[in-house]
Amino acid sequence: MAALNAVEQVFLRRLGLIQVHGLGLSVDVYSPDLPSLLGALRRRQVRPAYLEVFRAAPAALAMVRSQAGDGLLTYHGEGLWLTQPDLAGDPAFPQEVREVAGHLQTLDSAWLNHECATKSIAGYSFGTYLPPLYTESSAAMVAENTRLVQELLDRHCRLSSGAAPLVLLEMPPLTYFIAGTVDVPMFFQLVVRSTPCGLVLDVGHLWTVYRYSGAWQAVSLAQFVKTFLDNFPMHRVVEIHVAGLAPHESSSAAQSELSKRTGDGSLPVWTDAHAAPIPPVLFEILDQILSHPGLTSLRGLALEVDTKPVELIVEEFAQFAERYRMVPFPETVLPVASDEQAVWLPEEERLPDAVARGLEEAYDRYARVAVGRADPLGTEWTHPTACADELDRYRSIYLPYEILHWGGDVESMFPESCRRLAGQGVPLSRFVPFWFSRPRPRSPSYDFFLVKIERFIEFVHEEAPELAGIAQQEADELRGAYEVANAPPVQIMSERP
Ligand SMILES: [Fe+2]
């Protein structure tokens, strides 16, 4: 057997400290209500072996931990934009990592799962994730940023086991398009080559890659999955997610019109949808994944159920637990006998400045193409790996919906301001081009709801300055209510997971 290189050795040593977590649920503290969910699971006599908890206020996470006793909890992070060239230089970054470290320590989570995606690119803010540019320099940047985050967690976070949490990168979904010059499996090969991180393979995300990379027009799903898995770094997959897929809520009204324009319709136009039922096709893909010989590091297999109705979660988890109760998780083996915690690698070279600058420019173009301010031209958009067939759906339907309705309906948030704007002949639809009219400094701690409030005040200032006082008053009320809503509940959980 060929000797393992240093990166693989470090990964295996870290992995060896993580116990098998089994079949779990990836949840949100508030949605759906966690005590109700756990009570319903108990009544059905099914129990997740672990809960993966999405980012929440520290006090809420502490409450979950105390109620969970010694039950296994893991952490689904948010807000570290690992794909972005300006991550390390962002003044807010050290504080963000310290907060994440605090959350991980509170939950005693063996890993930090973070989407390999961003909601903030080159000064443009989005409500949902945009995948990375799938290029070589972008992969190098992700690798460098991931190493940095791991290094900081090593410094600032120590679990009860004495180890630091392992960073896991989740392969993100595609929402109608992909840009880049290398395919998704090769991108992650490039990332793990110089970074001892783990990966999360989300089955629904994989389906969206089939759908929106254009592969569905050339090969069957089973063949696509086989080729994908054969080329993906499967030995780094530490966790698998399964969540729902559904047509996006923005598209129902415009669906038929756009279908005529895109001219297909033989495959559903699904996007990642945690509230939606899990379609059976995802379990067919999951079976293919679980039988892949490269899957040697799996520690957890979870349904991702935030925002899903409790009854549906219980039904799906009961079936899932029955179907996958015999999943052979690989044994945890310490590959290198060592007490030392120093599991870092020698200093690696950073991305040359010129390459980093080139990547910044590429991301600036990427953002402008995505928001409709530039045409999908240039190598990242014209390479055979790229697919912009349905980019128009993203720009003209998905994105306006995101700005006007998703994560806070603007008209409901600012009723008086909107009424008066309408009275002055300013349609709310103008808020969308305003939002993307220019890049702005990144918000210190990214929260789309708060970004929306900030942008709307700016919008009113520009369109109707005489209404600024009213908008400000509505904004103050929204921020106050938001703070109250994010306070920890009296009791999060009624029992251990
Ligand atoms: Fe996921």
Segment 229-273, tens digit of pLDDT: 999 999 999 999 999 888 887 776 545 444 444 445 578 889 888
118-121 vs 124-130, strand pairing mode: antiparallel
* 124: confidence class by pLDDT, cuts 50, 70, 90: very high
Question: Mean pLDDT throughout 103-124?
Answer: 96
3-class state of residue 112 by DSSP: strand
pTM score, whole prediction? 0.92
Closest CA to 47 of 290, 243, 247, 313: 313
Distance between CA atoms of residues 397 and 255, nearest Å: 9
Question: Mean pLDDT throughout 377-381?
Answer: 93
Whether 330 shows a pLDDT value over 90: the answer reads no
Residue-wise pLDDT tens digits, 354-368: 999 999 999 999 999
Strand runs labelled E in 22-61: 22-27, 50-54
- Which residues is 304 bridged to in the sheet? 26
Let me know: does 208 contact 170? Beta carbons within 8 Å.
no
Question: Mean pLDDT throughout 304-314?
Answer: 93
367 CA to centre of ligand 1 in angstroms: 23
For residues 305-330, one letter each, b for 16 or more C-beta atoms within 10 angstroms of the residue's C-beta and e for the rest, the string is: bbbbebebbbebbeebbeebeeeebe
Distance between CA atoms of residues 364 and 369, nearest Å: 9
- CB burial of residue 385 (10 Å; 0-12, 13-18, 19+): buried
- Can you read off the two tokens belonging to residue 286? 């999951």
304 CA to centre of ligand 1 in angstroms: 6
Question: Mean pLDDT throughout 30-52?
Answer: 92
195 CA to centre of ligand 1 in angstroms: 21
447 CA to centre of ligand 1 in angstroms: 19
Helix H or strand E segment including 237:
strand 237-242
- In the prediction, which pLDDT does 260 show? 43
241 CA to centre of ligand 1 in angstroms: 5
- In the prediction, which pLDDT does 348 show? 62
81 CA to centre of ligand 1 in angstroms: 16
**DSSP 8-state secondary structure symbol assigned to residue 5:** P
Triad 338, 343, 349: Cα angle to 5°: 150
Distance between CA atoms of residues 474 and 478, nearest Å: 6
- In the prediction, which pLDDT does 494 show? 42
- In the prediction, which pLDDT does 239 show? 98
**DSSP 8-state secondary structure symbol assigned to residue 371:** T
394 CA to centre of ligand 1 in angstroms: 20
Number of separate helices (H) and strands (E) present in the chain: 20, 12
170 CA to centre of ligand 1 in angstroms: 7
- Can you read off the two tokens belonging to residue 167? 């960073």
* 228: confidence class by pLDDT, cuts 50, 70, 90: very high
Distance between CA atoms of residues 108 and 466, nearest Å: 51
Whether 335 shows a pLDDT value over 90: the answer reads no
375 CA to centre of ligand 1 in angstroms: 30
Residue-wise pLDDT tens digits, 415-474: 999 999 999 999 999 999 999 999 988 777 788 999 999 999 999 999 999 999 999 999
111-115 vs 245-247, strand pairing mode: unpaired
Question: Mean pLDDT throughout 307-314?
Answer: 94
Question: Mean pLDDT throughout 286-290?
Answer: 97
28 CA to centre of ligand 1 in angstroms: 12
Contacts of 485 (CB under 8 A, 6+ apart): none
303 CA to centre of ligand 1 in angstroms: 9
Closest CA to 407 of 236, 250, 288, 299: 250
- Can you read off the two tokens belonging to residue 298? 């799996």
Let me know: does 235 contact 296? Beta carbons within 8 Å.
yes
Whether 333 shows a pLDDT value over 90: the answer reads no
Let me know: does 244 contact 275? Beta carbons within 8 Å.
yes
Positive or negative CA dihedral for 326, 245, 412, 129? positive
What architecture is the 6-323 domain classified under in CATH? Alpha-Beta Barrel (3.20)
242 CA to centre of ligand 1 in angstroms: 7
Let me know: does 292 contact 261? Beta carbons within 8 Å.
no
* 53: confidence class by pLDDT, cuts 50, 70, 90: very high
Whether 402 shows a pLDDT value over 80: the answer reads yes
276 CA to centre of ligand 1 in angstroms: 13
Whether 280 shows a pLDDT value over 50: the answer reads yes
Residue-wise pLDDT tens digits, 198-213: 999 999 999 999 999 9
> Which amino acid is it at 141?
M
Contacts of 139 (CB under 8 A, 6+ apart): 132, 182, 187, 188, 190, 191
- Can you read off the two tokens belonging to residue 254? 């415009």
301 CA to centre of ligand 1 in angstroms: 11
- In the prediction, which pLDDT does 381 show? 95
154 CA to centre of ligand 1 in angstroms: 24
End-to-end Cα separation, the chain, in angstroms: 41
